[in-house]
Amino acid sequence: MLMKNRTQVIEFVFSGFIDHPKLQVVLFFIFLVIYIVTLGANLGIILLIRMDPQLQSPMYFFLSHMAFIDAGYSSTVTPKAMMDILAERKTISIAGCATQFYMFDGFVITELFLLSVMAYDRYVAICNPLLYSVVMSKKLCTTLVASVYIYGFVSSGVQTLLTFRLSFCGSNIINHFYCNDPPLLALSCSDTQQKEIQLLVLSGINLTSSLMTIIVSYTYILSTIFGKHFKNGGHKAFSTCASHLTAVIIFYGTLFFMYLQPSSAHSLDYDKMVSVFYAVMIPMLNPLIYSLRNKEVKGALRRLMGRKRLSQ
């Protein structure tokens, strides 16, 4: 009877960031600049890899998909967040919320395992260089990438179904700027204990299994570099992994903080600020990390600019 007397939620309202009009305009332009740089940098990397014949190795094949994923999950959240900054009512329908939830989680989980695949690629390149072209064949690379996309979006689909089969009634104000599990569970009038356990278990499996692949790969890489190859270009070999390691530390560190806390330890306001970093900033930082620290990418960009000058 109590459930029947409650009004079922038909839309959600985001709480947003700040209410001061002048600060809202400033925040909008900050988000706009970040989003433009994010799209420009990630799409630029994709085009550069597709156009330059010297960037046709497996490493850059994976990097192009990383750039696509970063552009994808940034586009799932940032444009809506920018619209809401200036809107009086920051609403989203149930279907829109579920779609945003599904797409964002799908891209994030896919990136987790793509980082693992990239670590395995570096392991083969450094530990078995003579077999690299044989092991990392085009067929295997395509299969690995397809597998992480399939797993990422199937796993996200399961989480989306588990979340949106809950009942939402009473308050419809999401204390966040996009649809995410912790603030949605806080609104549910259903028993969320089972869902919280499922979220913790699945997040833990995804994070630890993908991270273990990276740790094992880099254990072998470091053993090789500081062993027989240290005197013959060990530093150069490890420099090819520096960008990947930087991206891994930033991405995994943020996600471990976000998802592997018990619900009692969550401060939604603090989580919201952390979410700005990994949902808005990381997709911009990744292409900069990979391009600014990579001589081959910078060389390809110079060659492309040189061809443009000659054609003018």
Distances (CA, A) of 80 to 56, 75, 90, 97, 141: 35, 8, 9, 11, 34
User: Rounded mean pLDDT of 149-155?
Assistant: 96
Which secondary structure element, helix H or strand E, spans residue 12, and what is its range? strand 11-14
Distance, CA of 285 to CA of 24 (rounded, Å): 23
pLDDT at 2: 39
Joined together, the tokens standing for residue 238 give: 């490890």
Q: What is the pLDDT of residue 4?
A: 45
Tell me the average pLDDT across 195-208: 88
Q: Collect all residues with Cβ–Cβ distance below 8 Å to 129 and sequence separation of at least 6.
A: none
pLDDT for 128 beyond 50: yes
- CA dist 220 to 120, 130, 147, 247, Å? 10, 16, 24, 19
pLDDT at residue 112 in the model:
92
- What percentage of the chain reaches a pLDDT higher than 70? 83
Q: How many CA atoms lie within 13 A of 209 on its CB side?
A: 11
Question: Which pLDDT value is given to residue 30?
Answer: 93
3-class SS of residue 173: strand
Q: Across the chain, what does the average pLDDT equal? A: 84
**pLDDT tens-digit series, residues 269-306:** 667 777 888 889 999 998 888 876 667 776 666 776 66
pLDDT in tens, 134-151: 999 999 999 999 999 999
| Residues 224-253, mean pLDDT to the nearest whole number | 72
Contacts of 209 (CB under 8 A, 6+ apart): none
pLDDT at 222 > cutoff 90 = no
Q: Could you tell me if 183 and 97 are in contact, meaning their C-beta atoms sit under 8 angstroms apart?
A: no
Taking the C-alpha atoms of residue 77 and residue 96, their distance in angstroms, rounded to an integer, is 12
Q: Which domains does the chain have, with CATH numbers?
A: 11-311 (1.20.1070.10)
